[in-house]
Chain A
Amino acid sequence: MLEFTAAILLLAFGGMLAIVLYPRAGLCQLAGQTGAVLGSASGLVAALHVLVTGDAVSLSSIWHMPGGSLQLEIDALSAFFLLPVFGLSIVTGLYGRSYFAGHRDIASAASWFHLNMLTATMALVIAARDGLLFLLAWETMALSPFFLVIFDDRKAAVRHAAWTYLVAAHLGTAFLLVLFVLLGTIAASSDFAAYGAALKDHQALRSSVFLLALIGFGVKAGIVPAHVWLPEAHPVAPSHASALMSGAMIKVGIYGLVRVLTLLGTPEPWWGWLLIGVGASSGVLGVLFALAQHDLKRLLAYHSVENIGIILLGIGIGVLGLAKGMPLLAVIGFASGFLHVLNHSIFKGLLFLGAGAVGRAAHSLELEELGGLLKRMPWTGTFFLIGAAAIVGLPPLNGFVSEFLLLYAGFLAVLQPAAAVAVAGLIVIVILGLIGGLAAACFAKAFGIVFLGSPRSAEASEAREVARPMRASMAVLALLCIAIGLGAPLAVASLAGVVAQVTGATVATASAQLAIVTRPLALAVSVFVFLIAVAALAWALRARRLAVASVRRGPVWGCGYLFPSPKMQYTASSFAQPLTTQFHLLIQNREAFVPPQGYFPAASSYASDSGDPALHLLFVPTFRWFDRVVTRLNVIQHGHVHVYILYVAATLIALLIWESL
């Protein structure tokens, strides 16, 4: 626990020092970075220690505050979710200093402070065992990203994004407030252990608690339709902050949901169905919206929605397995969800860092202005390619391993005699197949348009590779993608502790059940080793042949047209057009087309923009209505102080009467 406390203090101290030292740009950056890296490393040690030994550590002190106490504990579940938080924070800390190189303003100093605060408060949320402490940490964690998002506050779009984030974060917190008040009332305590005990006596409340948790934590995780803040907030924050928010912060939402599930005891089957439904819709809609995007970071933000969907599919299958008394299904379902939490933080962190490098080098994240960057930025391009292949779920990378587990659980469910479970399994399999196919389309677009072909703007053609530390932080994440892919059996076996805690089994039982899936995974890895060997062989044969044959460069086939220009290349919009048209009911692309007219057409234009039905059909009308209703209350707002005193007095009298009744 000492390492954990040290981590929080180092992070906080480093952040504050960065603010204090802001006139000295170099020192300020150094302080922020050192705090982030050392603090997170210390926290990572604490988490790994718990995961390796399997013994939970705790810290509780009497805290003189009404209704709360300082209770911290790191058990297997907390330790597992601390991995992406601290792990990613080390990498983003490494990256951030080069990313901010040349910034000499208070904004970058404040950004360090809030970045470190975000890491520290995420860790506190995950370790808190007291309702009030949890909510305090949660609220602080919800505020830091606001300041990270509003980094570039002179732009109206940025202010709008930060505002959207703030409203969404507090809508989620509102549900959590109700949740914890409810739990506190029935338990007459704010201790998590007391919550669990009290819920055993209040069976009727369990489903309400589950629903409140799903909505409250779901907003933070970015489930559809509460995902609207992600594509606003992630693109405008500094890239390493986006990486941390997308890779770690939305997982804290998943953590909260799983923590509440462990308090609730044996779940109801319909919770599993609901989770599968929410996961399927988030997964499919997330990737479809991503396909329609033409801003690289916005596209990545929508993919976070998709991956949260995949995680929820795994947890949903796990919950269904628990509810139906199928321990193997539960273990593999939860294992797939947890492994995907870790995997997503790795490859999404990598992709956001890659996007940041592209933004730095080419001064744009607009897909239609980029192109040909693989030649100009070979390292960034290669790392981004690894991240893209991993997020698509291609072997032999880490994304494939968690999707293998999820499909494995799906096939297990399909073989069950019970029709309901079999249908759930089939839905998971088909949805994951569709998500995989669409994600492949989306990342073929993202990587192909940004890194391949020829540059579509002058800035892109002058792009240069980014600084060493930025490359190094991407390299670390790319290597992790490969390591978890080829070390799949080990990675899955190490999940035994956390899976055991959530499914209520012993660690030995969970290990034995995970061993059922690690044996096939070991064989799968041997197939991938064969794949790499065949590829190496084919490459060598081809190189040997070409060493003696004639090799030259020439123009690509243009149907006989000899003067192609970069503008004639396929664009991101045209690449995705067949799919966006097919799913137009869900995506609602808006198009403005002025067709050429007459025999000698003068002007014609075409513009398309991606909409988000959740925003246009749900939130905008709701908030407009809310605005109208609230405006009516203006009549009681005169600005006369004596009337306000009257209100206060009237309220007081009303309360006194109510109390005496």
Chain B
Amino acid sequence: MPAPGSLVLPLCALILAPLLLGIVNRTKAVIAGRHGPPLLQPYWDIAKSLRRGAVYGEVTTWLLRLGPVGGLAALAAALLVMPFGGVGAPVSFSGDIIVLVGLLALGRFATVLAALDTGSSFEGMGASREVHFSALAEPALLLALATLARVTGSFALTPVYQAVAIGAWADALPTFALVGMTLLVILLVENTRIPVDDPTTHLELTMIHEVMVLDHSGPDFGLIQYAAALKVWILGALLAGLVVPVRSGSVWLDGAAMLVGMVLLAGVIGMIESAMARYRLVHVPQFIVGAATLSAVAFIIRLV
């Protein structure tokens, strides 16, 4: 079992994750010339939902209630194997990449089934889109991580990310750049952000994630909002760990550099959301497969 001190990293993630959403929203507001909500607004939103009562659909069962709990628990468990740049994860072992992917799939499955539990067409539609896009995003993520594994000579997340230093970048610039692009696309797809899905849209027919959780309320919805923030954090850390190659050996320096990286990444997401429109749904698969191809190219570069 991990030492108590090493649990500081997952605790930081649990505390700071909603802040990322606040930064995304603030960036979008500033670019649009608005003042925007306070940076801490996501925390207030989650707290407000947690305090409220709940309304459940007439045909729903215990699965609707279990879905948000399972989704959150899967992501919280994933934090145990997530390194933060050069800062190692509490638990690290060969194959923890597989556990990370498995936990993401578990969280998604729980959310999808909870959506189908309502028996509503809207939720069914969102669930159908979610499983479609994630079926393509999952192999893309594995492809990107397998390429990183080949470059760094390990398939445990902590040593993989500890090996991504400046020197490694100089050595494998095209590979890292291509994998980084794949990870950015996966970050946008898995968190259903623009250009894949618009989290602020008002038309149910065009939504993916938001329409799946349409009939969740109260504490259940609070857990979902919190899990969404954790997901941004986890997939963001996968990307930021690659593009912030500060490996000084000091936990504080590496951690601080990564924090700056995460804040900048949230800003980049905000800029992408301000600059782009949502793709038509039929084009999203091409977007994902294209991103996966980038990693395949990166892998081929490293074959010889």
Contact = CB atoms under 8 A, between A and B. Distances in A.
Interface string A558-570: 1100001010111
Given A395-B103, A404-B98, A551-B53, A453 B93 contact: no
B163 interface: no
Given A527-B80, A549-B53, A558-B120, A415 B155 contact: yes
Interface in A520-544: 520-521, 523-524, 526-528, 530-532, 534-535, 538-539, 541-542
Given A434-B138, A441-B132, A546-B53, A524 B96 contact: yes
Greatest chain A CB density within 10 A among B105, B117, B118 is at B105
Contacts of B80: 527, 530
A437 interface: yes
Contacts of A444: 109, 112-113, 116, 127, 131
B139 A453 contact: no
Contact of A448 (B70, B127, B204): B127
B56 interface: yes
A102 interface: no
B146 A570 contact: no
Given A437-B135, A546-B54, A553-B57, 9 more contacts: A407-B142, A415-B149, A430-B146, A440-B109, A449-B116, A524-B99, A527-B77, A531-B73, A535-B70
Contacts of B220: 542
A50 to B, nearest CB: 31
Contacts of B59: 372, 375, 453-454, 556
Contacts of B63: 374, 385, 452
B146 A375 contact: no
A392 B77 contact: no
A579 B135 contact: yes
Interface stretch (A215-223, A421-429, A606-614): A421-429
B219 interface: yes
A433 B146 CA distance: 12
B258 to A, nearest CB: 22
Contact of B146 (A426, A557, A582): A426
Interface string B90-107: 010111111101110110
Contact of B93 (A434, A523, A542): A523
Interface of B: 1, 50-59, 61, 63, 65-66, 69-70, 72-74, 76-77, 80-81, 91, 93-99, 101-103, 105-106, 108-109, 112-113, 116-125, 127-129, 131-132, 134-143, 146, 149-150, 153-155, 204, 214-215, 218-220, 223, 281, 285, 299, 303-304
A485 B142 CA distance: 22
A203 interface: no
B120 A557 contact: yes
A278 interface: no
A517 B96 CA distance: 11
A157 to B, nearest CB: 30
A444 B120 CA distance: 15
A407 B146 CA distance: 10
A531 B76 contact: yes
Given A523-B91, A530-B80, A570 B125 contact: yes
B98 A407 contact: yes
Contacts of A441: 131-132, 135
A448 B135 contact: no
A421 B58 CA distance: 54
A526 B91 contact: yes
B146 A566 contact: no
B229 to A, nearest CB: 15
Given A444-B113, A531-B103, A558-B120, A520 B128 contact: no
Given A437-B135, A524-B99, A394 B128 contact: no
A555 B129 CA distance: 23
Interface centre among B103, B129, B140, B143 (most CB of A within 10 A): B103
A400 interface: yes
Contacts of A403: 98, 102
A433 B112 contact: no
Interface string A563-605: 0101011100011111100100000000000000000000000
Contacts of B70: 535
B95 A437 contact: no
B120 A527 contact: no
Contacts of B94: 408, 411, 520
Contacts of B135: 434, 437-438, 440-441, 579
Nearest to A399: B102
B57 A556 contact: yes
Contact of B119 (A371, A520, A576, A578): A371
A497 interface: no
Contact of B81 (A527, A539, A574): A527
Contact of B95 (A407, A447, A453, A557): A407
24 contacts: A372-B119, A393-B102, A394-B105, A403-B98, A404-B95, A404-B99, A415-B150, A419-B303, A423-B303, A429-B146, A434-B136, A437-B138, A440-B134, A520-B96, A521-B95, A523-B91, A535-B72, A542-B223, A546-B219, A549-B54, A550-B54, A556-B59, A569-B120, A576-B128
